[in-house]
């Protein structure tokens, strides 16, 4: 009787033994269905043996899952994550398994739709060409290149030129971006540069069917460019020839919940394992990447100027946010600057480092301040609907009508976030269209295309 040692998706450090029914071809890397206590679950076969120390007190494997057998590289990656980050083997191997799905036909249809108006792919300038040559000098072997380019220097064009090179030679390129909201725009850039190459995206907000279809395309080698957030580092890529980590300094590459890992570091490990080049791009490299580049462990390519020769670095002015004439983060300097842009029929882009209405709620009488009951963070005031939300653990509760300590109804929202500043701008410029872009308004994968269509409709009817 053949025995399979299976890593199940729980926090146990041991694997579980199951006997393999006759006629079922099970090998290392197979994703199988089996009973775990009283429920069905997917597990990854770690090894196959001739006997088990538990004798005949074993349950059988129910069936193969239909997911293609995981390659040895993926199995090695899960084993490394388990050992290096001290994660239970079952949880580490569960990262390799795509989500179950039933809606495959609809997902495939959505995945093949062509995004509108892709931006053009520009020819490389001298600095970009030197950076590309530095990357391609290690084609076919492992090397880490830190691509340090100022904002607007055209790092994306260098990524796409390198991807074009490896794809033309039968390889696959994995491009990791820090945020889900960056994938639609980046995908249009890729499809503009490589119109005849299949490109797929992988991130957690895709419908299960679309994500599975894209995972299958990557695992089969049909998709030559895979654009993904941090979870894409676990996707099987049989022809992997290049890895790019865009904005490598970004904390979004760190998985903080469940299995904790750093996708950038795993990307370097995987590139070394596959003996392929990897590019770590940023305008503000992380300290560890910078130190390794200075210490000659990483190659260093620089692009110190904007890609467009007409572009100039912006003029910077400091405008204090404190003073009697400041309202909701809206200063007279900001009002004058926006007014000047509107008079010239130009746009203004305002960055705020906090979402929500206000970072905290405080009682003017006793000094009570809203605190999360599940962690040590402050609760953030949100409007529409009125809620207090914790941006660390996700806890939410109704906005209190009075202080829970003294009963005072004079509760003050302290500071300002995107919602409060939007309200102030709308009040100052009531006839101007204002769009707020933050995690609250762009949760859906189609949020940007919808806002674009809405903006176009408003312009055509105004």
Average pLDDT value over all residues in the chain: 88
Q: How far is CA 341 from the centre of its chain?
A: 33
pTM: 0.75
82-101: average pLDDT = 91
Domain boundaries, the chain: 3-94, 104-303, 332-461
Write the DSSP string, 136-192: HTTTTS-EEEEEEE-TTS-HHHHHHHHHHHHHHTT-EEEEE-S-GGGHHHHHHHHHH
Residue 153 has phi, psi (to 5 degrees) of -80, -10
- pLDDT, tens only, 279-292: 999 999 999 999 99
Please say if the pLDDT value at position 326 is more than 90. Answer: no
The 10 Å Cβ neighbour count of residue 426 is 14
Please say if the pLDDT value at position 117 is more than 60. Answer: no
- pLDDT, tens only, 376-399: 899 999 998 899 999 989 899 999
Q: Give the class (CATH, top level) of 3-94.
A: alpha beta
Region of 170 please: left (phi>0), alpha (psi -120 to 50) or beta.
Answer: left
pLDDT of residue 452: 53
Distance CA 39, CA 153 (A): 53
Structural Rg of the chain based on CA atoms: 26
| Equal fold, 3-94 vs 104-303 | no
3-class SS at 26? coil
pLDDT of residue 120: 54
The CATH topology of domain 104-303 is Rossmann fold (3.40.50)
pLDDT of residue 34: 93
261 bridge partner residues:
255
Alpha helices (runs of H) in 275-389, residue ranges in sequence order: 287-294, 332-343
340-345: average pLDDT = 94
């Amino acid at each position: 009787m053949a025995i399979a040692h299976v890593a199940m998706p729980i926090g146990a450090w041991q694997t579980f033994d199951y006997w393999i029914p006759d006629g079922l071809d099970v090998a290392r890397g197979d994703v199988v269905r089996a009973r775990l206590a009283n429920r069905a679950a997917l597990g990854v076969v770690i090894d196959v043996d001739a006997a088990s120390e538990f004798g005949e007190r074993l349950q059988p494997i129910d069936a193969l899952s239909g997911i293609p057998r995981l390659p040895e590289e993926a199995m090695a990656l899960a084993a490394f994550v388990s050992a290096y980050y001290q994660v239970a083997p079952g949880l580490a191997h569960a990262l390799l398994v795509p989500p179950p799905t039933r809606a495959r036909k609809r997902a495939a249809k959505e995945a093949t739709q062509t995004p509108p108006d892709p931006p053009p792919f520009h020819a490389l300038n001298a600095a970009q060409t030197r950076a590309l040559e530095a990357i391609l000098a290690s084609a076919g072997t492992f090397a880490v290149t830190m691509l340090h380019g100022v904002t607007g220097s055209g790092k994306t064009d260098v990524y796409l030129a390198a991807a074009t090179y490896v794809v033309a030679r039968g390889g696959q390129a994995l491009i990791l971006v820090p945020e889900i909201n960056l994938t639609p725009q980046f995908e249009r850039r890729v499809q503009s540069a490589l119109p005849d190459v299949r490109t797929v995206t992988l991130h957690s907000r895709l419908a299960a069917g679309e994500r599975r279809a894209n995972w299958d395309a990557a695992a089969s080698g049909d998709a030559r460019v895979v654009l993904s957030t941090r979870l894409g580092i676990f996707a099987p890529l049989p022809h992997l020839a290049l890895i790019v980590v865009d904005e490598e300094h970004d904390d979004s590459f760190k998985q903080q919940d469940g299995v904790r890992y750093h996708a950038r570091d795993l990307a370097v490990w995987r590139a070394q394992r596959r003996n392929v080049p990897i590019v770590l791009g940023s305008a503000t490299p992380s300290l560890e990447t910078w130190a390794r580049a200075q210490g000659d462990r990483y190659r260093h390519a620089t692009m110190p100027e904007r890609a467009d020769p007409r572009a100039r670095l912006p003029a910077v002015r400091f405008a204090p946010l404190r003073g009697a004439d400041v309202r909701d983060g809206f200063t007279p300097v900001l009002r004058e600057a926006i007014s000047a842009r509107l008079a010239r029929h130009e746009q203004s882009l305002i960055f705020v480092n906090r979402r929500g209405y206000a970072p905290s709620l405080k009682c003017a009488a006793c000094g009570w301040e809203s605190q999360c009951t599940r962690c040590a963070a402050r609760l953030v005031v949100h409007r529409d609907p009125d809620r207090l939300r914790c941006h660390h653990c996700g806890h939410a509760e109704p906005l209190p009508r009075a202080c829970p300590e003294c009963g005072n109804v004079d509760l003050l929202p302290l500071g300002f976030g995107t919602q409060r500043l939007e309200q102030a701008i709308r009040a100052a410029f009531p006839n101007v269209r204002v769009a707020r872009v933050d995690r609250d308004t762009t949760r859906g994968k189609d949020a940007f295309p919808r806002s674009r269509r809405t903006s176009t409709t408003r312009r055509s009817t105004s």
